Copies of this chain bind each other. A is one copy, B any other.
Amino acid sequence: MILAHLLKPEIVEMIEAGAWNELRSFLADQPAPEIAELIASLDGRDRLVVFRLLPRKLAGDVFALLDADLQNLLVQGLAGDEVRELLAGLPPDDRTAFFGELPASVTQRLLDLLPDAQRRETLALLSYPENSVGRLMTTAYVTVRPEWTCEQALEHLRRRGRDSETMSVLYVVDDAGRLVDDVPLRRLILADLPTPVASLLDGRCDARLRSLQDREEAVAMFKKYDFYAMPVTDDDEVLLGIVTIDDVLDVAEQETTEDFHKLAKVRPLGGSLRRASVSLLFRQRIGWLVGLVGVNLLSGAALSHFEDTIRAAVVLVTFLPLLIGSGGNAGSQSATLVIRATAVGDLRPGDALRLLWREVLVSFGIGLMMAAAVFLLAWQRGGPGVGVVVASAMLAVVMFGSLVGLLLPLGLARLGFDPAAAGAPLLTSLADMGGILIYFSIARAWMGRG
C-alpha cells in the first residue's frame, strides 16, 4: 500500500503535467482516508482536480471523511450535477453531518438538489438538536421480524444489506416498528437455518439510546458497553435509526478537544487549528483573557492594601512570584485531576467529602515539603523572620490553591455546569489573589509582632 498523502509532490507534478489517466488509476487504488489526507494538504485548485478524478463510490467515501470547511469549499467548486450525484451517494448520517455544518444560505439550494425521499430524510435528521443523538443516527440498517426463520432473515439481509452501515447487529421490530430486541449477526450465522428468529432473542436489548439524548451520553454508553452499534428509539420505543461506533469515536475526540480548550479558557474553535483564521482565534481567546483582567485587578487591589508592609521589606516582594505560582500550580493539578475524572465517569457526587478530606492531607504534605524547600533560602535572603513568613505562607498558599482547585470544579458540577469551566487561568487568578492576601497578612502579622 502506498500512502497517497506521502506522495504529494509527485501528485502535484502529475497534475501540472496533465497526466490524468495515470493519476486517475493511481487514486482509484488508494484507501479513502489516505486520499482525504492528500486532499486536505493540497491547494484549492489541485484539490478539486484530484476530487474530480475519483470513481463515484470512492468520491463519496472521501467526501465523508473531510472537515466541514473543506467539504464546503469542494461543493462550491463542483457543478450542480456533480453535487447532486455526490450528495445522493452519501450515507444518511454523513449527509446530515454535512448539511448540519453548512451556512444557512446554502442549505436550501443544496437540499433542492436531492431526490424527494432523501430530502425528507435529511430534513428529518436535521430537525434533531445540534448535539443530540438524533444527529448522529443513520437510517441505513436492517430490521427483521421475530416470526421469520433464520433462513428468511439471512435472505432478507442478502437483499437489503448492501446499503446498511453495519451488519454486525440486526434489529428485531414488531408490526408498529417498535424495537423488540437486537440480535447479533454472529448469533444468526451460528443458528440452524429453520430456527425462528424469535428463539434467538434474549429478551433484553441491553443498550438503547433516545434520539433527544445528549451525544455525550452516547459516548459514555459506547465506552461502557463494548458495542459497535446501538439502536435509537423515541419515547414509544419506535426504532428511529442506529448510531455506529466510528461516529462516536469522532464525537469523543471533539468533546475531549473542547474540554482541553475549556481548561485553557479558549472558546471552542469548532474545527481545525491549522485552518483557523487570525480573527477567529482572536475572538475565541480574547473573551476570557479580558474577563480575567478583572480578577487580576482584584489581586492588585489586595496588594495595594499592603503597600506599607512592602515598603518596610521589599525583599518580601521577591518571594511573591514563587508563592502565588506554587499555589496556582498545585491548584491546576487538583482541578485537572477532578475535571478529567468527572469527564470519564470516575467520580460520583457522593465522593466529594472523601476527596476533600484526602486533598487536605495531600496538600498539607505537599505544602510542608515545599515550605521546607524554601525556608533556608528565605532566611538567608531576608533573615529568620522572612524565612518563617515565607515558609508558613507557602504551606497556607499551597493548601489554599489545592482546595480551590478541588472545590471549584466540584461546585460547578454540583450546580449543573461543566466542571471543565474551572480552567487553569481562572484558577491561577483566584490562587494569585488568595496567595497575596495570605502572604502579606502573615507578613504584616509577623512584623507587627516584632
Produce 1/0 per residue, A151-185, CB < 8 A to B. Answer: 00010011001101011100000000000000001
| In the bound complex, CA of A432 to CA of B339 (Å) | 25
Stretch at the interface among A48-56, A121-129, A251-259: A251-259
Also in contact, A285 and B245, with CB within 8 A (given A293-B374, A335-B264, A351-B274): no
> A320 touches which one: B265, B281, B320 (CB < 8 A)?
B320
Number of A residues whose C-beta is below 8 Å from B?
116
A162 adjacent to B185 (CB under 8 Å): no
Q: How many copies does the complex hold?
A: 2
Q: Which residues of B contact A29 (CB under 8 A)?
A: 204
Which A residues form the contact surface with B (CB < 8 A)? 1, 29, 31, 33, 37, 41, 154, 157-158, 161-162, 164, 166-168, 185-186, 189-190, 204, 206-207, 222-228, 245-246, 249-250, 252-253, 256-257, 259-261, 263-266, 269, 272-274, 278, 281-282, 285-286, 288-290, 292-293, 296-297, 299-301, 303-304, 307, 310-311, 314-315, 317-322, 324-326, 328-330, 332-333, 335-341, 344, 346-348, 351, 355, 358, 361-362, 365-366, 369-370, 373-374, 377, 381, 398, 424-425, 428-429, 432-433, 436
Rounded to whole Å, the gap between the CB of A267 and the closest CB of chain B is 10
Interface residue from B285, B330, B429 paired with A330 (Cβ < 8 Å): B285
Contacts of A326 on B, CB cut-off 8 Å?
289, 292-293, 296
CB pair B325–A428 under 8 Å, yes or no, is yes
| Inter-chain contact B289/A318, CB cutoff 8 Å | no
Contacts of A286 in B (CB 8 A): 365-366, 369
Q: Are B324 and A321 in contact (CB under 8 A)?
A: yes
Question: B204 touching A226 by the CB < 8 A rule?
Answer: no
- Contacts of A207 on B, CB cut-off 8 Å? 31
Least CB distance from A316 to B in Å reads: 10
Q: Are A341 and B274 in contact (CB under 8 A)?
A: yes
CB-defined contacts of A351 to chain B, threshold 8 Å: 274
Residues of chain B within 8 A (CB-CB) of A281 are 337, 358, 362
> Which B residues are in CB contact (< 8 Å) with A161?
186, 189-190
